[in-house]
């Protein structure tokens, strides 16, 4: 039986750092409020010339390097993003060209903050079936492009960045399972409700959120989808070495960890220095914890995310 295994990881955050103190100058907020309600201290913001595919390129190059591979080895590219370079072609096609890859499919996945889990699940199916030998899976966001900088309820929460993993076939796990879900009835609670009609932007294309409702749903559903992953593999939470959840709010992460019964020392938290980078948050956190040697080969890692749609999902894997 073929499994897919993560053989390399990489990430990238833009140079510019926006602190809570910087935000105090722009909107009626305070460092104390942001830290107390979200755990965020700072976030990265892309330079005007940096497209989402540029962030993805940096993360992808680092992931390839850590896997000991070259761009020509890649035969499948999937990019999870909510902030594509343009309406079309896909950000994955731009990334493919920038990497110099000329074969295999390249596609974007749109599942907002759950995007990386969706992308990982899709790539896992291709690798396990033998249809791909070397999949590049990226979560990349210039999410600050979607912010209304006068709305203190949302503009303090998000940041930009990219993370990537390489998936290759292996004889053992690898990825034990992925579980994906969606329920479009919740669309209005978290959206960027704009579109293009007759060449003009219609509606307000910046983030609109019912924060309290999203918070409650997130804690309930993250616990549920993690238990689904554990049950499907007859594992207990004690057997998990690391929990790498979507990084939206440290209070959501702590409440979920408590519900699951996982010790806080096994939870990777990066939201303090990245903010919420949507589809990029999990691969950014995963790469950070692998590079600083918290996550080691053989460790079992549980990933879980929830985002607009609503969408939600989990992945249980061994590094
Ligand atoms: O990736 C998934 C996407 N999003 C999320 O996961 C976010 C989920 N939600 C949350 O993280 C939290 O609900 C927030 C951080 C967005 C808000 O925290 P909260 O504890 O739910 O605060 P709240 O919305 O109930 O607001 C409390 C107060 C309000 O003032 P009043 O009405 O009590 O006078 C807000 O106006 O805090 C005020 N407030 C702020 N004050 C200072 C809201 N934003 C800010 C701000 N600075 N930035």
The last residue of a domain, from among 126, 157, 172: 172
Q: Are residues 148 and 202 in the same domain?
A: no
Query: Which residue owns the Cα nearest ligand 1 atom 20?
Result: 37
The last residue of a domain, from among 172, 206, 230: 172
Q: Are residues 11 and 139 in the same domain?
A: yes
Q: Are residues 153 and 222 in the same domain?
A: no
Query: Which residue owns the Cα nearest ligand 1 atom 25?
Result: 212
Q: Are residues 164 and 230 in the same domain?
A: no
Quote the ligand 1 centre to 193 CA distance (angstroms). Answer: 20
Cite the active site residues. Answer: 113, 246, 276
Residue 22 lies in domain:
3-172
146 ligand 1 Cβ < 6 A: no
Rounded Cα–Cα distance for residues 308 and 311 (Å): 6
38 ligand 1 Cβ < 6 A: yes
pLDDT per position as a tens digit, 50-78: 999 999 999 999 999 999 999 999 999 99
Q: Are residues 183 and 165 in the same domain?
A: no
247 ligand 1 Cβ < 6 A: no
Rounded Cα–Cα distance for residues 28 and 74 (Å): 47
Q: Are residues 157 and 8 in the same domain?
A: yes
Whether residue 177 has pLDDT greater than 90: yes
pLDDT at position 8: 98
Query: Which residue owns the Cα nearest ligand 1 atom 42?
Result: 29
- Closest ligand 1 atom to residue 249 Cα is 11
Q: Are residues 166 and 31 in the same domain?
A: yes
215 ligand 1 Cβ < 6 A: yes
Average pLDDT over residues 154-182: 97
Q: Are residues 264 and 147 in the same domain?
A: no
Q: Are residues 164 and 183 in the same domain?
A: no
CATH number at residue 120: 3.40.47.10
pLDDT per position as a tens digit, 77-116: 999 999 999 999 999 999 999 999 999 999 999 999 999 9
Q: Are residues 155 and 192 in the same domain?
A: no
Average pLDDT over residues 272-287: 98
Exposure string for 194-229, b = 16+ CB within 10 A, e = fewer:
eeeeeeeeeeebbbbbeeeebbebbbebbbbbbebb
Model-level pTM greater than 0.95?
yes
Whether residue 1 has pLDDT greater than 90: no
Whether residue 35 has pLDDT greater than 90: yes
pLDDT per position as a tens digit, 217-237: 999 999 999 999 999 999 999
The last residue of a domain, from among 116, 145, 172: 172
> Beta strands 311-318 and 300-307: pairing type?
antiparallel
227 ligand 1 Cβ < 6 A: no
Q: How confident is the model at residue 302 (pLDDT cuts 50, 70, 90)?
A: very high
Q: Are residues 159 and 217 in the same domain?
A: no
Mean pLDDT value across the chain: 97
The structural domain count of the chain equals: 2
Q: How confident is the model at residue 131 (pLDDT cuts 50, 70, 90)?
A: very high
């Amino acid at each position: 039986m073929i499994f897919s295994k993560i053989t390399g990881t990489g990430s990238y955050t833009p140079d510019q750092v926006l602190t809570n103190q910087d935000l105090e100058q722009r909107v009626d907020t305070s460092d104390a409020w942001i830290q107390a309600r979200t755990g965020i201290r700072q976030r990265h913001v892309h330079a005007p010339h940096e497209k989402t595919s540029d962030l993805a390129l940096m993360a992808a190059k680092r992931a390839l390097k850590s896997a000991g591979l070259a761009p020509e080895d890649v035969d499948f590219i999937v990019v999870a993003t909510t902030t594509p370079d343009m309406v079309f072609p896909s950000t994955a096609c731009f990334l493919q060209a920038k990497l110099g890859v000329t074969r295999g499919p390249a596609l974007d996945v749109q599942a907002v903050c759950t995007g990386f889990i969706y992308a990982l699940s899709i790539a896992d199916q291709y690798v396990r079936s033998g249809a791909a030998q070397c999949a590049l899976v990226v979560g990349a966001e210039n999410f600050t492009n979607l912010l209304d900088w006068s709305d203190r309820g949302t503009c303090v929460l998000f940041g930009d960045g990219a993370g990537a993993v390489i998936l290759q076939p292996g004889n053992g796990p690898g990825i034990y399972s992925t579980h994906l879900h969606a329920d479009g009835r919740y669309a209005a609670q978290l959206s960027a409700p704009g579109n293009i009609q007759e060449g003009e932007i219609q509606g307000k294309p910046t983030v609109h959120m019912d924060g309290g409702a999203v918070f409650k749903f997130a804690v309930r559903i993250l616990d549920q989808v993690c238990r689904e992953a554990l049950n499907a593999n007859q594992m207990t939470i004690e057997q998990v070495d690391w929990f790498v959840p979507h990084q939206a709010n440290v209070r959501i992460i702590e409440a979920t960890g408590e519900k699951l019964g996982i010790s806080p020392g096994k939870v990777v938290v990066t939201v303090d220095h990245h903010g919420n980078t949507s589809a990029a948050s999990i691969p950014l956190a995963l790469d950070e914890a692998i590079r600083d040697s918290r996550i080691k080969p053989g460790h079992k890692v549980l990933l879980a995310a929830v985002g607009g749609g609503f969408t939600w999902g989990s992945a249980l894997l061994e590094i």
